[in-house]
Chain A
Amino acid sequence: MSMSHNKIPVTVAEVVTLNPLIKRFRFVRRDGASLPAFSGGAHVVVEMDDHGTRRMNPYSLMSAPSDTTGYEISVRRDDVGRGGSLYLHQHVKVGDDLVISAPVNLFGLDLQAKKHLMLAGGIGITPFIAQMALLSAMAGRFELHYAARNPGLAAYADDLRARYGDRVQLYYDDQDQKIALAPLLAGQPLGTHLYVCGPKGMIDWVRRTATDMGWPQQCVHYEEFLAPPTGKPFQVELAASQKTITVGPDQSLLEAIEAAGVDAPYLCRGGACGQCETDVVSCDGHIQHHDHWLSDEEKATGHKIMPCVSRFEGRSLVLDR
């Protein structure tokens, strides 16, 4: 059976400009009913009709997981990207109707942890806000280290300091402050779990350092949503549904498949979860793999593609979809 997607019709109840780059949106259910509670680290996929192009972007929920009156997300404007965040920033206002997915968690807390050590970079702070609300209600032990470019862009820093005191440590790039990672990791009690969300470079640095210091991989958690990259348009043949589609320059292959009315599975839409993995029937050209789901070997064989972020250049690509 195919995975059913539970969609929730919502209305935008609040839009707050936090700083020049970040806006916060609050959604309530259109029918006035409660939303489901969710787990810290969960995201929703927000569907947008961007002037004829259907965008479906994942955003971490940052409101308190127990607050069922509304969901909040924070969106960082990406001026060079394909437009999902720009659309939210420029066109979505209070009272607008949107459709979101039910919450999905690909970055959950391991509640067995004796302690939760959280490292956030920039907008990567959002899942931790929900997780800290949960842990604090459960009297869980946690500590957040939050790095941002400067105090003006460190959305929520003051808020979190006020709420959690010394359990929140701040680092600003423009003041040459950097997380002293090795000593920080060395001092943690056995059974600590490490969570990192932020730019790719930060995630790689944290994971590599933890591995080198003997941290088990089951204790190191990370979340990185890739925005689907833009590129040249290309054609794809969908063998199972007998359709040929064209993927636009700022459209993802997955979005193009959906626009053609073909039902395709997905969860994260950011190259991480593996749900949209699709078999390649034949390929005459070069697949631009952008995901971090397929192994390097799998990418090299060219037998599979993750249509949420990957693209193609060449003569012909036929997919089993």
Chain B
Amino acid sequence: MGLDFNQETFRNDFTFRNSPKAIRRFPFPFHEDGYMYSVNLEPHVPGPKGSVFEHTFDVDEHYVAEMRDRALVLAEDPLRCQSLPHMTLAGWDLLELIMTSKARDYPHWFELHKQGDKWHWINKPLEIEQKFTFGDETTLPYGPMEYITRQTQGDFSLQDHRDDNLWMDAGMITTQADWSLDFDVGMSFHEWHAPVPLAHEKGIFDRALKFLLNLQLGAPVRRFNWTMTVDPLLDTSPETYPQWGPTRASLTPETIGKRMHLRVELQTLIRLPRSNAIAFPIRCYLIKFDELVTVPKWGRRLHRVIRDLPEELAVYKGFARNRPMMLDYLAQYDDGTPTSPGIWPD
């Protein structure tokens, strides 16, 4: 196990880093030299071997450390994981989906043995072995959603489908870009997206909701979202903003390459079978500016995206105050030559 997973932290001494292999497979979110909101959904079909799209749930070198960080967040604030009473069935759906996918895609790390509803789950990286009865909460140490998402990278929300809308009625949210599950749980699709600027006026959420209400079983979709984070802090929650907020004011030209991170969310949307709910995994990937510019195409393109971004979006994403310094840094890596289409390194 030791060779597969990094020993690293996402707090205090911040020893998080990406290996050269992890940098090459980083899901750089910009397919062109600019960015604006769109309903950028595409089928979540298996991507190139080794890419973050290869499997339904990507397990990478940060797995064990990320799960340790999640446990610390939950110990400090259990409200980061919530499931309204009617969402337990959706939790079982999610547990089944994740266990089945991981056992199929990473058989050397995960095993699932089923005999009817008697299930036996083995998670070797986290040294967990659990025998339980599918559908019976009393046989697990946590509710089904909490149990499996303590063992799966990325945030998760479960959206109930009713009254021609989606309702965020459950979630495990510890690696979020500054939104509060405790506050938003129970909201409709437009309500929890309410604070997002510009996109409502463009009809983005109307179109996205219409699409998602028709999301089919067995035909998941995915999209990217992104922001910037100072220091590799997974848990940028509003709850703890007074603790991490000051770091935004402490960047210097000397430290920005090491401390400023592009934060990418690979969001997938998956129709669940028993509950007809929609699972919304939000997988967070971090990369330091210093790591990112080792791919010349990405350095050039990120400079152009940040330079041309509308001010409202820079404010909403929380990096308006640091934008000039970011541009000074990134400009060094933009020689003005054209970039190739698509997100992958040349």
Contacts and interface: CB of A to CB of B under 8 A. Distances in A.
Interface of A: 1, 3-6, 36-39, 42, 65-66, 102-105, 108, 110-112, 134, 137-138, 218, 265, 267, 275
Given A3-B214, A4-B43, A267-B214, A111 B219 contact: no
A37 B216 contact: no
A103 B276 CA distance: 10
B273 A39 contact: yes
Contacts of A42: 276
B216 A36 contact: no
B159 to A, nearest CB: 13
Nearest to B272: A39
B86 A112 contact: yes
A114 B19 CA distance: 52
12 contacts: A3-B211, A3-B214, A6-B217, A37-B273, A39-B275, A42-B276, A102-B216, A103-B273, A105-B161, A108-B161, A111-B87, A265-B214
Contacts of A110: 86, 162
Contact of B274 (A6, A102, A134, A265): A134
Given A111-B89, A112-B86, A3 B216 contact: yes
Given A3-B214, A37-B274, A65-B274, A108 B219 contact: no
B218 A36 contact: yes
What range describes how many residues of B lie at the interface?
20 to 34
Nearest to B221: A1
B239 interface: no
B318 interface: no
B328 interface: no
Contacts of A37: 93, 96, 273-274
Interface string B271-300: 001111000000000000000000000000
A1 B41 contact: yes
Given A1-B41, A4-B216, A39 B276 contact: yes
Contact of B216 (A5, A38, A111): A5
B135 interface: yes
Interface in B124-151: 135
B54 interface: no
Interface string B56-99: 00000000000000000000000000001011010001001000
Interface of B: 41-43, 84, 86-87, 89, 93, 96, 135, 160-163, 211, 214, 216-219, 221, 273-276
Contact of B89 (A3, A36, A138, A267): A138
Nearest to B210: A274
A275 B210 CA distance: 10
A6 B43 contact: no
- 8 smallest CB-CB distances across A and B, nearest first, come from A111-B86, A6-B218, A39-B276, A37-B273, A102-B217, A105-B276, A4-B219, A36-B273
B103 to A, nearest CB: 14
Given A3-B216, A4-B216, A66 B274 contact: yes
Contacts of A38: 217, 273-274
B276 A6 contact: no
Given A6-B216, A102-B217, A102-B218, A108 B276 contact: yes
Contacts of B217: 6, 36, 38, 102-104
A198 B218 CA distance: 29
Nearest to B167: A112
B121 to A, nearest CB: 18
A38 B84 CA distance: 21
A289 B167 CA distance: 32
B65 to A, nearest CB: 34
Contact of B43 (A1, A36, A112, A265): A1
Given A3-B214, A36-B217, A66-B135, 7 more contacts: A1-B221, A6-B216, A6-B218, A103-B217, A104-B216, A108-B162, A218-B163
Nearest to A110: B162
A66 to B, nearest CB: 7
A105 B96 CA distance: 20
B36 to A, nearest CB: 18
Contacts of A134: 274
Nearest to A39: B276
A3 B217 CA distance: 11
A134 B89 CA distance: 10
Contacts of A108: 161-162, 276
A137 B274 CA distance: 12
A194 to B, nearest CB: 14
Contacts of B273: 36-39, 103
Nearest to A102: B217
B275 A137 contact: no
Contacts of A66: 135, 274
Contacts of A104: 216-217
B174 to A, nearest CB: 26
A36 B273 CA distance: 7
A37 B160 CA distance: 17
A265 B216 CA distance: 12
B16 to A, nearest CB: 35
Contacts of B161: 105, 108
Contacts of B274: 37-39, 65-66, 134
Contacts of A103: 217, 273
B218 A111 contact: no
A200 to B, nearest CB: 21
B272 to A, nearest CB: 8
A135 B289 CA distance: 52
A7 to B, nearest CB: 9
Contacts of A36: 217-218, 273
B212 to A, nearest CB: 11
A252 B39 CA distance: 32
A39 to B, nearest CB: 4
Nearest to A273: B214
Nearest to B271: A102
A276 to B, nearest CB: 11
